[in-house]
Amino acid sequence: MLTIVPRIARLALLALVCCAAVQKPPADGSGAGSDAIRIPFENYTLPNGLTVILSVDRTTPTVTVNAWYHVGSKNEAQGRTGFAHLFEHIMFTGSGHVPYGLHDKLTEGIGGSNNGTTSNDRTTYFESVPSNYLESALWLESDRMGFLLDKLDLAKLNAQRDIVKNERRQGVDNQPYGRVSEILSHATYPPGHPYSWDVIGSMEDLSAASEDDVKNFFRLYYAPNNAFLAIAGDFDPAQAKAWVAKYFGDIPRGKPVTRPSVAPVVLASGQRLVYEDRVQVPRLYVQWPTVGEKNDDQYALSVLGAILSGPRTARLTKALVYDQQAAASVSAYQGSNEDVGEFLLMITPRPDHSLTELEAAADAIIDKLKSEGPTADEIRKALAGEELSFLRGLESNLGKAMQLCDGAGFHGDPGHFRTDYQKSQAVTAEDVKRVANKYLTSGRIVLSVVPAGKLDQASKPAESKKVIIEKTPRPEVQP
């Protein structure tokens, strides 16, 4: 069970002692070059509960402000799916003292940029601007944190509802294979589970969202005690602190937020589904429920993904794409949310090779890995690129601000990136073998996406249940 209150309290204490602390190279000497895994930062908490994280980098005269709220689609009520993301759009429609349009004017209109993103677990808003516009960026963010409802009306809600529906059409309904994600989520998690619906939500639920929904959601989740504010780039920390206090200090603390209780999912048995789509090439998806950000098995599961697919020497890629030449492409990876995760395998066949054949071929490769475990070389190769990836992430203020907020929000430590790196580098062949056996079991969803009218192209068609999507895109399984 996760509740936010203890973590926030712990953060507040932590902030007092580690203000001005700069991340130091590790004393444990873990691996050559690991002293490059460093983001200088300091953090503190305002009396209203807002966590502030500052990271100075004067390389380029630009600065990024990232406002991160610990709310996502998993906080939605049933019948209101898609609401967290719809709300994200509302946040760009103006607030108490910022008329619509000014936000864009003070970001992209001066050579900067802005955007917002919503996940299952969090919603984040950012502005990247020339460094002399930091104060106005903070003013913009503080105004919508403190005064969004002053200017809210039904017309604004309806306009954004239409745009979000267009976003769904573009990203889901009009995309080949576009419905796969929501079919898999629905099949993997039991009804009512906070991860059983997708972030984009359903058309019906988007239509149902009311003005009161917006107000209640804002009051509960967009209070400073549920928010993290990172500033990264070219700025003077003392000046930034003064501005943060000035613009955010008087926004009142909200009620404590109760997190949904998220039960881990284990599928007692497998489920086979087939979905007819407007595609010309069938595809096989296999999804296993695994673990999320808070469980250290995620590190070995990520390495498992890198050993199975990606470079031509990866086991599934080598076997299916190169040696057997039965697949045009294959991918396998661990996706980690805050509380849960999934390991997803996807295979696109070459003509004259059936999904049934490819499923069996993939299973044979995975079974071999489960019994033998990976080689030391495979582990080394999977981990060798991490330092470079980390360093390249440091080239962007936004990349840094996001890492710091994710660490603070999900783990109570803006410096969690270092723990993350160390745990990842510490993964052994034995770990990978263990997680492969623990999670890649018969408790999985096998989904075949086939061209309309070609149900026989499914993997084991006779055993596969047809997914019917009525007008509502909430997938229903019919026997």
Partner 1 sequence: MKRNHLCLKTTGLLLAVLAVLALVSFPLLSQQALDRTKIPPAGKAPVFHVPTWTKATLTNGAELMVSEKHDLPLVSFSITILGGASQFEPPDRRGLAGITASMMSEGTKSRDGEALSNAMQMLGTSVGISIGSESGVLSFVSTTGKFGATLDILADMLLNSTFPAEALERLRAQRLVALTQAKAQPSSIAGRVFPKVLYGTSHPMGQMVTEESYKAITRDDIVALYRTYFQPGRALIMVTGDVNPAGARAAVEKALAAWPAGGSKPAFSYPALPAPRPATIYIVDKPGAAQSTFAIGNPGPPRNTPDYFALQVMNTMLGGLFQSRLNANIREEKGYSYGVSSSFAFGRGPGAFRTGGDIQSAKTDAALIEFMKELRGIAGSRPVTDEELTTAKDALIQRLPNTFGSVAGLNGAIATLWMQGLPDNYYQQFEKAIAAITREDVVRVAKQYIDLGHLAIVIVGDRATIEGPLKATGIAPIVVLDIEGNPQTGQ
Nearer to partner 1, 330 or 362 (CB): 330
Comparing CA positions, the residue from 130, 71, 140, 68 lying closest to residue 100 is 140
> Mask of contacts with partner 1, 438-457, x by CB under 8 A?
--------------------
Instruction: Quote the CA–CA distance of 253 and 222 in Å, as a whole number.
Output: 10
Q: Pick the binder of partner 1 from 10, 278, 368, 423 (CB under 8 A).
A: 278
Q: Tell me the pairing of strands 51-56 and 42-45.
A: antiparallel
Tell me whether residue 3 or residue 60 sits nearer to partner 1 (CB atom).
60
Q: Does 413 bind partner 1 (CB under 8 A)?
A: no
CB nearer partner 1, residue 147 or residue 428: 147
Residue 338 · residue 284 · CB < 8 Å: no
Residue 110 interacts with partner 1 (CB under 8 A): yes or no? yes
Q: Is 143 in the site for partner 1 (CB under 8 A)?
A: yes
CB of 149 to partner 1, least distance (A): 13
* Least separation in angstroms between CB 143 and partner 1: 6
Total chain residues near partner 1 (CB under 8 A): 83
Q: Residue 4 or residue 159: which is nearer to partner 1 going by CB?
A: 159
Tell me: does residue 384 bind partner 1 (CB under 8 A).
yes
Token readout for 471 is 């007008």
Element at 115 (helix H, strand E): strand 113-118
Residue whose token pair is 């804002």: 218
Q: Does 198 bind partner 1 (CB under 8 A)?
A: no
CA neighbor of 40 nearest in space, from 52, 51, 24 = 24
Candidate list 49, 82, 94, 224; residue touching partner 1; CB under 8 A = 94
Instruction: Find, among 69, 142, 57, the residue nearest to 399 by Cα.
Output: 57
Q: Identify residues 52-81 at the interface with partner 1 (CB under 8 A).
A: 57, 59-62
Q: How far is CA 362 from CA 206, 320, 396, in A?
A: 39, 8, 38
* Contact string (CB under 8 A) for partner 1, positions 199-238, x = contact: -----------------------------------x----
Answer yes or no whether residue 106 interacts with partner 1 by CB under 8 A.
yes
109 binds partner 1 (CB under 8 A): yes
Is the Cβ of residue 10 or residue 58 nearer to partner 1 in the bound state? Answer: 58
φ/ψ bin of 352: left (φ > 0), alpha (ψ from -120 to 50), beta (otherwise): left
Nearest to 14 by CA among 68, 56, 51, 54: 51
- Give the max Cα distance, the chain: 68
User: C-alpha dihedral over 436, 437, 441, 446, to 10 degrees?
Assistant: 20
Q: Which stretch binds partner 1 (CB under 8 A): 46-54, 116-124, 151-159, 363-371?
A: 151-159
DSSP string, 378-400: HHHHHHHTHHHHHHHHTT-HHHH
Give yes or no for residue 250 binding partner 1 (CB under 8 A).
yes
By the 8 A CB rule, do 423 and 296 touch? yes
Instruction: Determine the Cα angle at 88 with ends 194 and 212, to 5°.
Output: 80
What is the nearest approach in angstroms of partner 1 to the Cβ of residue 165?
8
Residue from 97, 253, 294, 411 binding partner 1 (CB under 8 A): 97
CB of 161 to partner 1, least distance (A): 8
Stretch binding partner 1 (CB under 8 A), from 4-12, 74-82, 211-219, 382-390: 382-390
Listed residue (379, 378, 376, 375) closest to 425, CA to CA:
379
Closer by beta carbon to partner 1, 77 or else 163 = 163
Out of 176, 256, 260, 412, point to the residue binding partner 1 (CB under 8 A): 176
Give dist(CA 143, CA 124) in Å, integer.
15
Residues contacting residue 17 through CB under 8 Å, at least 6 positions apart: none
Rounded Cα distance between 210 and 214, Å, is 7
Closer to partner 1 by CB, 17 or 32: give it: 32
- Both tokens of residue 106? 């003070």
Q: What's the closest the beta carbon of residue 154 comes to partner 1, in angstroms?
A: 11
**Residue 430, number of CB atoms within 10 A of its CB:** 12
Instruction: Check binding of 360 to partner 1 (CB under 8 A).
Output: no
Please, what is the minimum distance in Å from the beta carbon of residue 325 to partner 1?
6
Place of tokens 């510490």: 426
154 binds partner 1 (CB under 8 A): no
Q: Interaction with partner 1 in 297-336: which residues (CB under 8 A)?
A: 311-313, 318, 321-322, 325, 328-329
Of residues 122 through 141, those in contact with partner 1 by CB under 8 A are 128, 130-136, 138-139
